[in-house]
Amino acid sequence: FSSDKVTVVFVLGGPGAGKGTQCANLVRDYNFTHLSAGDLLRAEQDRPGSEFGQLIKDYIKDGAIVPMEVTVQLLENAMTETLSKTKDGKGRFLIDGFPRKLDQAVKFEESVCKAKFVLFYDCPEEVMEKRLLKRGETSGRTDDNAESIKKRFKTFVETSMPVVDTYDKEGKVVKVVANKSPEEVYAETKKKIEGRI
C-alpha cells in the first residue's frame, strides 16, 4: 500500500498503562482501526502452523521484545488487510504497544510510514502493577503474574522509554496522565489530541 494514504498514530505507555482501554474509546469516537502489536503477536502465537509460535510464547512470558521482523510483518499484514476492504485504499491506524525499541521505530518508519504523532500514557509502576495483577486473576495472559510483570517493567524502562524520549525531542509526543479513572484519562486524551487528528 502507499504510505501517503495511511495515517498512523503510535500509542505507547508502560504495561497496564491503559493503552488498549483508551484505544477502544478512540475507535468508537474517531475513525481509526486499532492494531495492538501484543494482540497480533498473541494471535500469531496461537495460530496453528505458525513458525513463530514457540518463540513468541517465550519472549512474551519473559517480558522481552520479540524480534522486530516478526512484529513489523504482522502489523503490515493487518494494515494491508484493512486497506484492501476500503474503496479508496485510505486508512487511519492506532498502533498500540509498538514501537518498543528504537530500531523498530526506524524500521517501521522506513518501510511502512511515518507516525503523525505519539500518544503516551504516563502511569506510575505501582498503579500499573496493581491493575495487571488484578487482570491476571482472569485474563489468562501468561505475562500477568508478578515475575513477568517485573520483567516487563524493566524492559519498558530500559528499552521502550528511549523511544518515547526520542519522539519527544522531535515534538511528536502527546503525553496523558494515566493514573486516573478511565473516563478522566479519556477526557484528557480527547482534549490533547484535538486539532492534531
**Number of chain residues interacting with ligand UP5 (CB under 6 A):** 29
Q: What is the 3-state secondary structure (H, E, C) of 116-145?
A: CEEEEEECCHHHHHHHHHHHHCCCCCCCCC
Is 131 annotated as belonging to a binding site? no
In the complex, minimum distance from the CB of residue 46 to Mg ion, in angstroms, rounded to a whole number: 16
Told to check if 41 binds ligand UP5 by CB under 6 A, we report yes
Nearest to ligand UP5 of 90, 180 (CB atom): 180
Helix axes 37-46 and 53-61, enclosed angle (nearest 10): 130
Binds 16, which of Mg ion, ligand UP5, none (CB < 5 to 8 A, cut-off by type)?
ligand UP5
Considering only residues 113 to 132 of the shown chain, the ones binding ligand UP5 according to CB under 6 A are 131
And the C-alpha cell for 1? 500500500
Phi, psi of 183 (to 5 degrees): -70, -45
Can you tell me which residue has the cell 493487518?
Answer: 78
Is 104 annotated as belonging to a binding site? yes
Told to check if 20 binds Mg ion by CB under 5 A, we report yes
Is 174 annotated as belonging to a binding site? no
Helix axes 146-155 and 125-136, enclosed angle (nearest 10): 140
Q: Which stretch binds ligand UP5 (CB under 6 A): 19-27, 45-53, 165-173, 187-195?
A: 19-27
| 3-state secondary structure (DSSP) of residue 7 | strand
Which residue among 6, 8, 9, 15 contacts ligand UP5 (CB under 6 A)?
Answer: 15
In the complex, minimum distance from the CB of residue 136 to ligand UP5, in angstroms, rounded to a whole number: 9
Distances 133 to 20, 145, 148 between C-alpha atoms, Å: 16, 6, 11
Query: What are 9's strand-pairing partners?
Result: 94, 117
Told to check if 35 binds ligand UP5 by CB under 6 A, we report no
Interacting residue ranges for Mg ion, rule: CB under 5 A: 19-20
